[in-house]
Structure 1
Amino acid sequence: MVSFYWKTTKMINSLSIHKFCASVCWFTYLYDISYSGDQAGSTYVKRANCHIKADSKHEAANAYADAAHCYKKTNTKESISCLEQAVNVFMEIGRLSMAARYYKEIAELCESDQNFELAIVYYERAADLFQSEEVTSTANQCRQKIAHFAAQLEQYQKAIEIYEDIARQSLNNNLLKYGVKGHLLNAGICQLCKGKGDTIAINNALEHYQDLDPTFSGSREYRLLADIADAIDQEDVAKFTDAVKEFDSMTQLDAWKTTLLLRVKDALKAKELEEDDLT
């Protein structure tokens, strides 16, 4: 396969621009059906460069994306580089929805590599472009990812603002309004993490959430946040645990919520131990 690659590369390098494009299309097809790693990716990059020279920018962007998908299996860094080149070309020709799509794909690659800081950067770029194209649902999917990772990285205020904003947007949408309580719960959990034992912020937030959605005060989500606030105020770890267990028995907590609530519990335990040391 390696010798075939170098022979074909040498041959197409000697062709005219139009024959070159045709040849590269054929050889990338051969690589697609026989080998889809670095060599196939490299050939797609050659194809993209050919289309750039021929001023076929849309085809060039697609070729960069194809190269990225080949590299994805073997070389994440190169895959991201090719996707960025695809984005640049799509931006240049005004195809913002395609650029947004590939920014989102880059973010997902960063997420897979657990590079959450960089994933946030690309999800933000994708969200901005999707919003500019009025693809609000996909923009909000990206924003929820941003909030999710921001909270993991202890950027709680950023996460709070996103969840509260999505909740506000969802209130007037019949399809989305049933998710409002979940967004407010996420925001409230972030408030608890941010407060580090200060219940003023969470109590103010709960009042605000009731103003946003009058039905929220009758929900399990509200009761969980209010009970945790009481437990923190009373410095009662057992009460905190009971509140979480009761909610989890009805609506299972996901890993993200569990992680953040454990942070709150650990802070409460530390405060309780500190009080014990002083007595």
Structure 2
Amino acid sequence: MGDQMARAEEYEKKAEKKLNSWGLFGSKYEDAADLFDKAANSFKLAKSWDRAGSTYVKLANCHIKLESKHETAQAYVDAAHCYKKTNAKEAISCLEQAVNMFCDIGRLSMAARYYKEIAELYESEQNIEQAIVYFEKAADMFLNEEVTTSANQCKQKVAQYAAELEQYQKAIEIFEEIAKQSLNNNLLKYGVKGHLLNAGICQLCKSDVVAITNALERYQDMDPTFSGTREYRLLADIAASLDEEDIGKFTDVVKEFDSMTPLDSWRDDPSVRVKEKLKAKELEGDDLT
């Protein structure tokens, strides 16, 4: 690694010297770019991630001078992937630069891909609000490029985080929209019952039995096969337990479903909130007696 570090610093020094030398406008930036690329690769081999990232940024600046937007964008992506190991903030900054370049040259599917990567970085930093913003941007751009599966993956993330933030109506609208879109797609239609279950759980979190009953009717109209699924039965049974304020019944139906089809971690959280509301109602009833 020491050898790679020394080699990297030598390439970087030569590149800086080349930039400061006299020469034809294009050639010195081309020569410097080649040296910065070699330096960055050597820094990577030495696992010096910050130095590799900053060197890729210098490479990007050379490509800007050469008006090579695609190469500039790729250099920013390479910088970001180095910074991801040490500095999420710098990685996000570099990816945003890359996205701007890809948008300029019409590579929108690449821009969408890196919007999604920015969202995932914010996600890893527990910055849920910003993660939602970038998952939404990625979803919109994937839709523009008709990459439906990737768009839906990003939308699901938005809906899940909206539910965690108790923005239930937003989550419901997204899950229902995905379900509608999936019905007409042979590859995606098998996931419809899961999307409707997600929407239904968010409906339950609003503790409005009339709303969930109406929603279940709409879901049957949307997908006539839904009423025969375990997902439908779970939602109907939970709605009944809410109506009857029966916490024991609620616990039993969730436990039975989870024993055969484990609930996702995000789904567990809203169902816990439903249970807490049932407990609160039960306590209110005890106080009145």
Scaled by the length of structure 2, the TM-score of the pair is 0.92
Whether the 8 Å CA contact 1:12–1:23 is kept in 2: the answer is no
- The CA distance in 2 between the partners of 1:224 and 1:160, in whole Å, is 17
Matched residue, 1:65: 77
Matched residue, 1:270: 280
Whether the 8 Å CA contact 1:8–1:27 is kept in 2: the answer is no
Shift in alpha-carbon separation, 1:192–1:8, aligned structure 2, 3 A: farther
- The CA distance in 1 between the partners of 2:265 and 2:41, in whole Å, is 42
Matched residue, 1:82: 94
SS of aligned partner of 2:270: helix
Task: Kindly tell me the number of residue pairs found equivalent between the two proteins.
Answer: 277
Alignment of 1:152-231 (within 5 A): 152-193=164-205, 195-196=206-207, 198-231=208-241
Once the two structures are TM-superposed, the CA of residue 35 in structure 1 deviates from its matched residue by 2.9
- The CA distance in 2 between the partners of 1:250 and 1:118, in whole Å, is 35
Q: For 1:150-204, what per-residue CA distance to the aligned partner results, in whole angstroms no more than 9, with x for missing partners?
A: 11111111110111011111112222111111110000000011x23x2011001
Scaled by the length of structure 1, the TM-score of the pair is 0.95
Matched residue, 1:11: 17
- Identity within the alignment, %: 67
- The CA distance in 1 between the partners of 2:163 and 2:19, in whole Å, is 51
- The CA distance in 2 between the partners of 1:86 and 1:44, in whole Å, is 12
- More displaced 10-residue stretch of structure 1: 34-43 or 200-209: 34-43
AA aligned opposite 1:219: T
Once the two structures are TM-superposed, the CA of residue 10 in structure 1 deviates from its matched residue by 4.0
Structure 1 stretches (4+) deviating beyond 3 angstroms? 5-10
Once the two structures are TM-superposed, the CA of residue 12 in structure 1 deviates from its matched residue by 4.1
SS of aligned partner of 2:227: helix
Q: Structure 1: any 5+ residue segments left out of the alignment? A: none
Q: RMSD of the TM alignment (CA)?
A: 1.6
AA aligned opposite 1:244: V
- More displaced 10-residue stretch of structure 1: 39-48 or 7-16: 7-16
Shift in alpha-carbon separation, 1:36–1:98, aligned structure 2, 3 A: farther
Whether the 8 Å CA contact 1:103–1:126 is kept in 2: the answer is yes
- The CA distance in 2 between the partners of 1:174 and 1:135, in whole Å, is 15
